[in-house]
Chains A and B, each alone.
Chain A
């Protein structure tokens, strides 16, 4: 085993995902402690240039038509062969639709221990993970063999893993990628929807705390008074109460409004990663321990149904005063 820290560079449709930069920043911390280099693994087809913006020391690049876009089977076969040859100290994967498809099965296949949901590496080289929707933190240490780590956003800004200096490339020959059991047929672009929430200046985010479809109207009224739109957390979308184009977070959109008012949203990391760059966040939640209060500037511990009517009245009366 070497002391090098590897990371799987994620790219979709020719774009390097932010998580790759975030992992680079985390890997750098770990490499400082372990004394190795930071090495990016890039799998693709004619995609070597994607390494150019990453602040890694080297990139191991493997080129094959079957690696053009991500599929779990082709990636896993390649990674097994690559990690067997290089035997790094640790390998970072995004806890994402790409990374999570291969990291856990690789860990089983290669008998490498795995740690989930890491957001930060401390000065002493400990891994800090966040689980239970952000309500529990876990501090752990690398095992005494190659350790796999899945990384959540939140601990590092993507800029911390970016660089202008092009890293050196090492070419890696692909293994046999015939008879794959998983194939990508096509990408399906989302319905654009009636509004693009990523462009809105004011958003009212609705969570499971809204309880019933009928109640969404209350949030819409609030949004309308402020010249904004409503968006939602996953459970509201999964109920079919609002279209997917209004989903905020990991599997939805990233939004950056001047004001985000969250109504009955707990603040799970999969949601907050999509709202963290809002200028001001006002969170309304009846649970004083809700993690949403950790990222909000203003918080109100209250049953939203008790607050919403007086709030709508207040806003209306101020608006009437200023227009009258």
Chain B
């Protein structure tokens, strides 16, 4: 049976206001709302699609964070077979390298054919996780993937280039792929189905090894962007604003 492992992480929800920690060199994670990394969600979907197409066991591994259990049960409702929570993450965001080291030790024992991860996470500053993991697992890596099929010892994957060009890549398995988008949009599952999973499935906990939070690159500070040249904000009620926009459009010669 094909073994697929997906790494899924929670990242800050960008709809919320982000704050800097008192240290001045990290995000303040204490009040932050986190949601699944969009690209990891696509990676999960791609794994489930592959399972439905030709059979596979899908394992999801997620570092612990507020709400990670709900996220994992949701993946079970979609069709994931095994759920693992990585514990011992600590207050500060670990470097991707040390996270990759812990994950690599776990994943080696699972002997997977394919490891999927979102191509990027928007809060990463120490490189991307998936290619670092690939290196430690001694597997090839290809990222920016939208669409994968498995055939014999190989994966056929479509890699996105600017302008909508796709590169069809042939990759020897086992491999790590960085998913940009799944072939179909991530599916919706009803809350009732997730609740069922909470009663029928369990989450395994695996303790991570000691994680590093410093990479050698010195982070001097993190800050909110200085409002350089902000847009001129049009104020007023909707009607007034509509009038203002219309007169701008007239000035531009569009009306």
Is B233 within 8 A of A299, CB to CB? yes
Kindly state whether residue A224 has any CB partner on chain B within 8 Å. Answer: no
Q: List which B135-158 residues lie within 8 A (CB) of chain A.
A: 135-136, 140-144, 156, 158
Kindly state whether residue B190 has any CB partner on chain A within 8 Å. Answer: no
Is A97 within 8 A of B125, CB to CB? no
Taking a contact as CB atoms closer than 8 A, the residue among B15, B164, B166, B168 that contacts A245 in the complex is B164
Is B18 within 8 A of A135, CB to CB? yes
Is B238 within 8 A of A105, CB to CB? no
Query: What is the distance, in angstroms, from A98's C-beta to the closest C-beta of chain B?
Result: 8
Using A100-B144, A252-B163, A299-B232 as known contacts, say yes or no to A140 and B220 having CB atoms under 8 A apart. Answer: yes
Kindly state whether residue A199 has any CB partner on chain B within 8 Å. Answer: no
Main secondary structure of the interface of B (DSSP, over half): mixed
Q: How far is the CA of A132 from the CA of B234 in the complex (A)?
A: 26
Kindly state whether residue B1 has any CB partner on chain A within 8 Å. Answer: no
Is A140 within 8 A of B167, CB to CB? no
Q: How far is the CA of A228 from the CA of B239 in the complex (A)?
A: 23
Kindly state whether residue A170 has any CB partner on chain B within 8 Å. Answer: no
Taking a contact as CB atoms closer than 8 A, the residue among B128, B156, B255 that contacts A116 in the complex is B128
Q: How far is the CA of A82 from the CA of B184 in the complex (A)?
A: 40
Taking a contact as CB atoms closer than 8 A, the residue among A117, A183, A283 that contacts B169 in the complex is A183
Kindly state whether residue A195 has any CB partner on chain B within 8 Å. Answer: no
Q: How far is the CA of A86 from the CA of B119 in the complex (A)?
A: 30
**Chain B contacts for A244, CB-based, 8 A:** 164
Kindly state whether residue B42 has any CB partner on chain A within 8 Å. Answer: yes
Is B170 within 8 A of A139, CB to CB? no
What 1/0 flags go to A223-235 for Cβ under 8 Å of B? 0001100000011
What 1/0 flags go to B192-224 for Cβ under 8 Å of A? 000000000000000000000001111111111
Kindly state whether residue A1 has any CB partner on chain B within 8 Å. Answer: no
Is A101 within 8 A of B165, CB to CB? no
Q: Which of B72-80, B107-115, B241-249 contacts A (4 or more CB under 8 A)?
A: B241-249
Taking a contact as CB atoms closer than 8 A, the residue among B12, B125, B180, B239 that contacts A138 in the complex is B125
Query: What is the distance, in angstroms, from B155's C-beta to the closest C-beta of chain A?
Result: 10
Q: How far is the CA of A240 from the CA of B18 in the complex (A)?
A: 30
Kindly state whether residue A159 has any CB partner on chain B within 8 Å. Answer: no
**Chain A contacts for B230, CB-based, 8 A:** 293-294, 299
Kindly state whether residue B181 has any CB partner on chain A within 8 Å. Answer: yes
**Chain A contacts for B215, CB-based, 8 A:** 113-114, 143
Q: How far is the CA of A238 from the CA of B62 in the complex (A)?
A: 24
Is A297 within 8 A of B162, CB to CB? no
Residue from A70, A138, A139, A150 having most chain B Cβ neighbours under 10 A: A138
Is B122 within 8 A of A182, CB to CB? no
Kindly state whether residue A315 has any CB partner on chain B within 8 Å. Answer: yes
Is A97 within 8 A of B162, CB to CB? yes
Q: List which A1-38 residues lie within 8 A (CB) of chain B.
A: 12, 17
Residue of B nearest to A13 (CB): B165
Kindly state whether residue A307 has any CB partner on chain B within 8 Å. Answer: yes
Kindly state whether residue B229 has any CB partner on chain A within 8 Å. Answer: yes
Query: What is the distance, in angstroms, from A240's C-beta to the closest C-beta of chain B?
Result: 6
Is A135 within 8 A of B223, CB to CB? no
Is A71 within 8 A of B242, CB to CB? no
**Chain B contacts for A294, CB-based, 8 A:** 225, 227-231
Taking a contact as CB atoms closer than 8 A, the residue among A137, A245, A282 that contacts B225 in the complex is A137
Q: How far is the CA of A289 from the CA of B19 in the complex (A)?
A: 13
Kindly state whether residue B185 has any CB partner on chain A within 8 Å. Answer: yes
Using A226-B249, A282-B248 as known contacts, say yes or no to A190 and B163 having CB atoms under 8 A apart. Answer: yes
Kindly state whether residue B59 has any CB partner on chain A within 8 Å. Answer: no
What 1/0 flags go to A102-131 for Cβ under 8 Å of B? 111101110001111100000000100111
**Chain B contacts for A96, CB-based, 8 A:** 162
Kindly state whether residue B2 has any CB partner on chain A within 8 Å. Answer: no
Residue of A nearest to B160 (CB): A251
Kindly state whether residue B159 has any CB partner on chain A within 8 Å. Answer: yes
Query: What is the distance, in angstroms, from B236's C-beta to the closest C-beta of chain A?
Result: 9
Kindly state whether residue A215 has any CB partner on chain B within 8 Å. Answer: no
Q: How far is the CA of A128 from the CA of B135 in the complex (A)?
A: 27
Q: How far is the CA of A88 from the CA of B5 in the complex (A)?
A: 36
Residue of B nearest to A235 (CB): B38
**Chain B contacts for A182, CB-based, 8 A:** 140, 142, 169-172
What 1/0 flags go to A201-238 for Cβ under 8 Å of B? 01000000000000000000000001100000011001
Taking a contact as CB atoms closer than 8 A, the residue among A104, A137, A291 that contacts B222 in the complex is A137
Is A297 within 8 A of B216, CB to CB? no
**Chain B contacts for A184, CB-based, 8 A:** 167-170
Using A258-B252, A301-B233 as known contacts, say yes or no to A101 and B142 having CB atoms under 8 A apart. Answer: yes
Chain B residues with a Cβ under 8 A of chain A: 12, 14-15, 17-18, 20, 27, 38, 42, 96-97, 100, 119-120, 122-132, 134-136, 140-144, 156, 158-172, 175, 178, 180-181, 184-185, 215-225, 227-234, 238-239, 241-243, 245-246, 248-250, 252, 254-255
* 20 extra interface residue pairs, beta carbon distance < 8 Å, beyond A108-B136, A139-B223, A280-B252: A17-B162, A72-B141, A97-B144, A97-B160, A101-B141, A103-B127, A104-B128, A105-B135, A108-B131, A114-B217, A126-B220, A131-B125, A133-B122, A140-B219, A143-B215, A143-B218, A190-B163, A253-B164, A299-B233, A318-B255
